[in-house]
Structure 1
Amino acid sequence: MNRITSLFQKKNEKVLNVYFTAGFPKLKDTVSVLEALQDGGVDIVEIGMPYSDPVADGETIQDSNQKALENGMSVSELFEQLKDIRANGITVPIVLMGYLNPVYQYGIEAFCEKCQEIGIDGLILPDLPVDEYFREYKSTFEKYGILNIFLITPQTSEERIRFIDEVSDGFIYMVSSASVTGAVSGINTGMEAYFNRVNAMDLKNPRLIGFGIKDKETFETASKYASGAIIGSQFVRILDNAKDIKSEVIAFVKSLK
């Protein structure tokens, strides 16, 4: 069974997903950050594949993408770094987040096959339209046991949300507002109305709320309206300033719980 599916069968509240950019702050930090996140007790790790034009991301994550690319990070380098993680004790579900162009260049099927080989559980590709996924790639993802995670926003229609829920598995990434990562802070009443509206739809997939989650308070507030939440920009800032990655990552994760 896919590790994400297994996780949500066991736990459906206060699920903590933490994002970081591969190859940041330094090229070879990827596995060290992943290990520290697992040691801290995260439920899902989302690893960003650096891209030159990360349109869904704000300044903090854009900067980390640029630094990682300058460090020499690429899809092939990331796969090389991650190739032994499951043999070396990493058990936490892992999602790769990125953009279509590098995945197309690698080859969709070859990419999914490599993810299966390494032990990657899911992908988030914000610029892959759900209709195209359903027509062209769903069977390939399923062949290799890779879940494709879609984003919804307050502007996503009910019809679209129900279609996403029907054709995907794992969880739905519920973007808290129509903005980029790092641009909002906290949960406001407008967001709450949106969260309640989606909850009333009784979808089959659990939801995790992202954008604006930065600390214990915002994590717990978001978790009242979904199965948990995703922290990205704030964690990337922690990494950018960390003197001791392992201890500071573990301390940050524990501060959220």
Structure 2
Amino acid sequence: MSRLKDLFAQKQKNVLNVYCTAGFPHLESTLPVMEALQAGGADIIELGMPYSDPLADGEVIQNSGTIALQGGMTLSVLFEQLKQMRTRIQVPVVLMGYMNPVLQYGFEKFCADAAAAGVDGLILPDLPPFEFEASYKAVVEQYGLNFIFLVTPETSEARVRQLDSLSSGFLYAVSSSSTTGNEKDFAAVEAYLERLQGYGLKNPVLVGFGIKDQDTFSRACKYANGAIIGSAYIKALEGKTDIAAATRSFIKNVLG
């Protein structure tokens, strides 16, 4: 059983997935941040792979990626950092990023190195489902990785069901058709999540974009298995010297 399946078998509600940018706030921060998230109570760590043109990311995450890239973060550096990850990190880890650097690295090599490091799943928002199915799905499955697709409030039921069938681990429900870090109308988000819940999907659903505190987390979890927090956590790390304390305080404020 994969770590993600195991997690959702044990915990169906209020699953907290926290996004952090590899190499932020400093190049060597990757594992210390991950350890702080695990110790603080995060159920899943979503590790962002910095890229110069991140389509789905808002200003906060873009800036953290720019800092990481300027500090020397690359996929090769990241996989070197993650070699000892599973001696320190027990929670599921998902890599989130974009296809351009992954293709430059080599897709199969990327999957092999991710699996060797103990990564559980991949989120690559700019990989179209038809391309995934035709060219990449077999490689992802060969290395035992989960692959997570994103759906939005505008995604049709037929398309949601198709993406759910292609996904494993969980389905990422984007709270609205915008970038990360923006304010959301949570009444509309709740109606959308209630609609998704009514489809009886095979995968657990985690909602992301605009989740930032105890109120938005609890409202997101009302009709979903859990939520994903990114920009708010990156902001909480900015300018902090004590990563563990900043992380502990942030997660406590989210979980109550």
What TM-score range do you get, normalising by the shorter chain? over 0.9
CA distance in 2, matches of 1:92, 1:53: 29
Matches within 5 A, 1:1-257: 1-87=1-87, 89-185=88-184, 187-257=185-255
Q: Aligned-pair distance for 1:65?
A: 0.8
SS of alignment partner, residue 235 of structure 2: helix
Stretches of structure 1 that go unaligned for 5 or more consecutive residues are none
Moved over 2 A (4+): none
RMSD of aligned Cα (Å): 0.9
Question: What one-letter code is carried by the residue in structure 2 that aligns with 1:20?
Answer: C
SS of alignment partner, residue 182 of structure 1: coil
Question: What one-letter code is carried by the residue in structure 2 that aligns with 1:56?
Answer: A
Q: Aligned-pair distance for 1:193?
A: 1.7
Q: Aligned-pair distance for 1:229?
A: 0.2
Q: Aligned-pair distance for 1:254?
A: 2.2
**TM norm structure 1:** 0.97
SS of alignment partner, residue 249 of structure 2: helix
CA distance in 2, matches of 1:54, 1:183: 15
CA distance in 1, matches of 2:22, 2:211: 20
SS of alignment partner, residue 241 of structure 1: coil
Q: For residues 72-95 of structure 1, what are the alpha-carbon distances to aligned partners after superposition, in whole Å with 9 as ceiling and x for unaligned?
A: 1000000011110112x2101000
Q: Aligned-pair distance for 1:160?
A: 0.9
SS of alignment partner, residue 86 of structure 1: helix
CA distance in 1, matches of 2:239, 2:180: 19
CA distance in 1, matches of 2:132, 2:157: 19
CA distance in 2, matches of 1:250, 1:190: 30
CA distance in 1, matches of 2:254, 2:177: 25
Q: For residues 124-163 of structure 1, what are the alpha-carbon distances to aligned partners after superposition, in whole Å with 9 as ceiling and x for unaligned?
A: 0010011111111111111111111110001111111101
Q: For residues 17-53 of structure 1, what are the alpha-carbon distances to aligned partners after superposition, in whole Å with 9 as ceiling and x for unaligned?
A: 0001111111100110000001111100001000000
Q: Aligned-pair distance for 1:188?
A: 2.2
**TM norm structure 2:** 0.97
Question: What one-letter code is carried by the residue in structure 1 that aligns with 2:195?
Answer: R
Q: Aligned-pair distance for 1:184?
A: 2.1
Q: Aligned-pair distance for 1:3?
A: 0.6
Stretches of structure 2 that go unaligned for 5 or more consecutive residues are none
CA distance in 2, matches of 1:57, 1:90: 26
SS of alignment partner, residue 16 of structure 1: strand
CA distance in 1, matches of 2:186, 2:212: 14
Q: Percent identity?
A: 55
